[in-house]
Structure 1
């Protein structure tokens, strides 16, 4: 998918809270929105070159969203709204191994008391529930999730186990918002409860996918299946 809104570069200064950041644009300090509740500490470092998307909404307090940054030569997209859009595109294009038979793709659907990112269906009525997690944490080719404790993420995994118990398909897809990485693993050092839940989900038949992306400052699309280490 292409980002059609105006994209500019800036220098990152600081992040006073989860949703706000300060950058330098044309020599002036400017407040921007950060659309990611994760820590992103290894990306949002003072002096880092970041990418901003102009939103064009006069009702907003901030003109720009900070959607990515450079970690050395590697560009990483950090926009938490992007993964579902990229995965939806890939599902419709039949590019996710194991999910090609599902021709009906629906966003934000509930199962019992739970809401998942996608419900997939075949023409014969088979159902599959898919949860998507965006991954921005990388170190020496190893990518990990989460970069901050997530009780909500752990709950999603346990709910997917309940879906499987109802004889329906269930999976979680980790979309790595960068390219050319080696493998993915749960970040036990930050949230072992999430890692334990992921391993439990796998033992109970929940599918686990990991894909990296082909990415640039103004585009991002699903690329390669990535090795998973549990």
Structure 2
């Protein structure tokens, strides 16, 4: 997908809370919105170069959204709304291995007590529930999820197991919002319950997929699958 809004570079200063950050642009300090509730501590470091997307709503409090940052030479997208958009585009274009047979793609559909990101169907009335998790945590080509405890994420995995038990297809797709990743694994040190739930889901037939992205400052798209280590 192409980011159509104006994109500018700035210097990161600090992030006082989950939704706000301060940056320096053209020599002036200003506040921007951060569309990510994760910690991103290893990415948003004082002095790093960040990518801002200009907003087009006159009623908003900040002019820009902080959507990506450079971790050394590696560009990492941190916009939490991006993964679903990227995966939607990939599903429509039959780019997700194993899900090519589904030609109906519906967003945010409820099953049990959870709302999954996608409900897929085909002409044979086969149904597949898919949950997407954006991944921004990386170290030397190894990506991990989550970067903060997530009870909601564990709940989603348990609901996917229930969907599988009722005869539906079910899967979770971890989208690395960066490139050059060779392995993905659950971040057990951060959230042991999530890791256990992910392994249990896999044992019960839930598909566990991981993909990296091709990206630049004004585009991001699903690229290739990544090895999953459980």
Shared fold (TM-score greater than 0.5)?
A: yes
1:212 matched to 2:207? The reply is no
Q: Could you tell me whether the CA contact under 8 Å between 2:112 and 2:159 is conserved in 1? A: no
User: Hey, what's the Cα distance between the residues in 2 that align with 1:123 and 1:48?
Assistant: 49
User: Hey, what's the Cα distance between the residues in 1 that align with 2:111 and 2:20?
Assistant: 34
Match of 1:9 in 2: 9
TM-score (normalizing by structure 1): 0.99
> What RMSD over aligned residues (CA atoms) do the two structures have, in Å?
0.5
Match of 1:100 in 2: 100
User: Hey, what's the Cα distance between the residues in 1 that align with 2:22 and 2:87?
Assistant: 30
User: Hey, what's the Cα distance between the residues in 1 that align with 2:194 and 2:125?
Assistant: 31
User: Hey, what's the Cα distance between the residues in 1 that align with 2:9 and 2:228?
Assistant: 33
Instruction: Please list, as runs of the form range in 1=range in 2, the aligned pairs for 1:1-230 lying within 5 A after superposition.
Output: 1-230=1-230
**Structure 1 residue 182 displacement after superposition:** 1.1
User: Hey, what's the Cα distance between the residues in 2 that align with 1:136 and 1:113?
Assistant: 27
Q: Could you tell me whether the CA contact under 8 Å between 2:142 and 2:183 is conserved in 1? A: yes
SS in 2 for 1:152: helix
User: Hey, what's the Cα distance between the residues in 1 that align with 2:154 and 2:19?
Assistant: 23
**Structure 1 residue 184 displacement after superposition:** 0.2
Q: Identify unmatched segments of 5+ residues in structure 1.
A: none
Task: Give structure 1 regions of 4+ aligned residues with deviation exceeding 3 angstroms.
Answer: none
User: Hey, what's the Cα distance between the residues in 2 that align with 1:15 and 1:211?
Assistant: 28
User: Hey, what's the Cα distance between the residues in 2 that align with 1:143 and 1:223?
Assistant: 15
User: Hey, what's the Cα distance between the residues in 2 that align with 1:227 and 1:35?
Assistant: 28
